[in-house]
Amino acid sequence: MAPNSAVSPSPPPPPRSPRITSRSISVDPNRPQLSLALNAVCILHTIELELRLPPTPRPMHIISRTAIVEAQQRHPNARSWLDQWWNVASRARWENLHEARVDYAGTDQVGSCLVFNACGNHYRLVCGVTYANQWTQGTLYVKHFLTHAEYDKDKWKADCGR
């Protein structure tokens, strides 16, 4: 064949039948035995979902670190307690008041809030709480860090549904 001779382009390949892909199996709808394999994969996937173990429990979500830092700036002698509380609470998974009291015995629930006694009862940390359960990880919302005298004024109770 001469280098300058005209070469006609080859005709396009015939159209292929549509293919459906599921995981690693390619299925041609024109071949029923493969459709049966696809159905088996779907059934196995459904069984896998139904038998799947519950997700690994996640620790409490704490909102917000900024509130803790501000409390540390206002009350420097509480800095280490607040850091320690953050470390414990952010690794915990509290599903009820009893579980919170395992980590912090001086904890009470007032309405929708947990009240932690801090620094030998000199301060109170007030957090809104949504306990963890099988669907959610649980949330602590830092609302107030109060001296004992500020706490006794009960102004914080409005934030806790009281």
> Average per-residue pLDDT in the chain?
80
First to last CA, the chain: 95
Would you kindly state where each structural domain of the chain is located, as residue ranges?
20-51, 61-160
Element (H, E) at 145: strand 139-147
Q: What is the pLDDT of residue 63?
A: 94
| SS3 at position 44 | helix
Q: What is the pLDDT of residues 17-67, one digit of tens each?
A: 444 444 444 555 566 555 555 555 555 555 555 555 555 678 999 998 999
Task: Please say if the pLDDT value at position 140 is more than 90.
Answer: yes
Residue 22, pLDDT score: 45
Q: Are 93 and 60 in contact (CB under 8 A)?
A: yes
Model confidence, pTM: 0.66
Contact assessment for residue 119 and residue 77, using Cβ atoms and an 8 Å cutoff: yes
